[in-house]
Amino acid sequence: MLSFIYPISVDLNSMKFTFLDRVVDITMSIISWMKTTTVAATRAIVEMIVMSWVAFYCFTKTLILTLTPSGMRAQKNLRGKVVVLTGGAGGVGQELALRLARASAKVVIWDVNEEAAQKVKENIEKEGHKVYHYTVDVTDRKNVYKNADLVKQEVGVVDILINNAGIVCGNTFLDIPDYMIEKTFQVNILSHYWTVKAFLPDMLRKGRGHIVTVSSLTGLLGTYKCTDYSATKHATLGFHESLHTELRTHGHRGINMTVVCPYFINTGMFAGCKPNMPMLEPRDVAKRVITAIRRNEEYVTMPGWARFILPLKNFVPAKLAWAVTYRLIRSPQSMMGMRAFQETAAA
């Protein structure tokens, strides 16, 4: 029909039949609209079919991997990998450093507490492993960049970055000193910007690397006496997921990213708390983090079932969510005895 009308319209246009010209213009517009709509609809259908298969594949893969015994799953070798670990002198940090060293990785401990970090280094070296230690204040970006350059010169280009350093104040909102709010944000989230900026460019040049963010379940659920800590852990999730999105969008699939959200850990940071569930032990958290790194897992919660339960808070009435939190789980009550911040506390 279009091939029939259009030649006539040209002839009519030469005779200045503006009415028919207008009809042809409208017809062309309608046909173009129909073609565009048809293409868009077809594209939408195709995309829906493709995404359905992708969803089926992803869920099936996840189910199979979940049911596969740990020993049968593929795991990457950490031998010779340069690993920078912030907060390496703390409870989880020293367990991570020890286990990474046992896996023959080149462990680089970063911690502001020089004495504690040196002790961790000595304990690991007693087992015959080589460990590097740098006294770094991760809240000072210039200090971070300076020590990052030293690591590259003295140890090598970093393969794995584990952002583990963290502090918690342990007071209700109005009792938190202003400087502690700032310090908590500087240690728990802003430091991630400085460390990632320091090491990501080399990972991009190599086309491979791994960034690990140690967050918390409090980053998924607001917690009593943690208005500062919980906010920073929410922020780590936002930072991590946004960076992951950027890397994937630009095709940097060789850069793996893992975020770990553990329950309360028995490191002294949450001393005085009396949660309904037993606290996690640092060695168990460290073991799970390293397993996640070996498997290139993207999202880990401890305990594992928390990843399925916590999102339910967004699907139930607010009053019910509060009733479960206060009456059943008794989360606020369990945190009331939490000890206030100590300068020596570390994640």
Provide the residue ranges of all domains of the chain, joining segments of one domain with +.
2-57, 85-335
pLDDT at residue 343 in the model:
45
H or E stretch at 3: helix 2-14
Residue with the two structure tokens 């952002």: 163
Q: Are 140 and 147 in contact (CB under 8 A)?
A: no
**How far apart are alpha carbons 188 and 139 in whole angstroms?**
9
- CA distances to 88, 117, 122, 153, 301 from 79, in Å: 19, 22, 20, 19, 26
Given a contact cutoff of 8 angstroms between Cβ atoms, the answer to whether 237 and 188 are in contact is: no
For the residues of 103-159, what is the DSSP string, one character each?
TT-EEEEEES-HHHHHHHHHHHHTTT--EEEEE--TT-HHHHHHHHHHHHHHT-S-S
Q: What gap in Å lies between CA 324 and CA 221, rounded to an integer? A: 13
Token match 């940090």: residue?
93
Provide the pLDDT for residue 344: 38
pTM: 0.81
- Residue range 11-39, pLDDT digits in tens: 434 444 455 555 545 655 655 555 555 55
**Strand, coil or helix: 297:** coil
* Residues annotated as catalytic (active site), given as ranges: 229
- On whether the CB atoms of residues 165 and 87 are closer than 8 A, the answer is yes
- Greatest CA separation for the chain: 99
- State the Cα torsion 109-115-119-120 to the nearest 10°: -30
* Per-residue pLDDT of the chain in tens (347 residues, 90 and over written 9): 433 333 333 343 444 445 555 554 565 565 555 555 555 666 667 667 767 866 777 778 777 777 777 677 778 999 999 999 999 999 999 999 999 999 999 999 999 999 999 999 999 999 999 999 999 999 999 999 999 999 999 999 999 999 999 999 888 899 999 999 999 999 999 999 999 999 999 999 999 999 999 999 989 888 888 899 999 999 999 999 999 999 999 999 999 999 999 998 988 777 777 777 788 999 999 999 999 999 999 999 998 888 887 777 777 787 777 677 766 666 666 676 677 765 434 34
Instruction: Say how many Å lie between the first and final Cα of the chain, rounded.
Output: 74
| CATH architecture designation of domain 85-335 | 3-Layer(aba) Sandwich (3.40)
Q: What's the pLDDT at 338?
A: 73
> 289: closest CA among 213, 345, 346?
213
Strands of the 299-302 sheet, one edge to the other: 131-135, 106-111, 82-86, 160-163, 209-214, 255-262, 299-302
Report the run of H or E that residue 256 belongs to, with start and end: strand 255-262
| Nearest to 136, CA basis, from 159, 177, 164 | 164
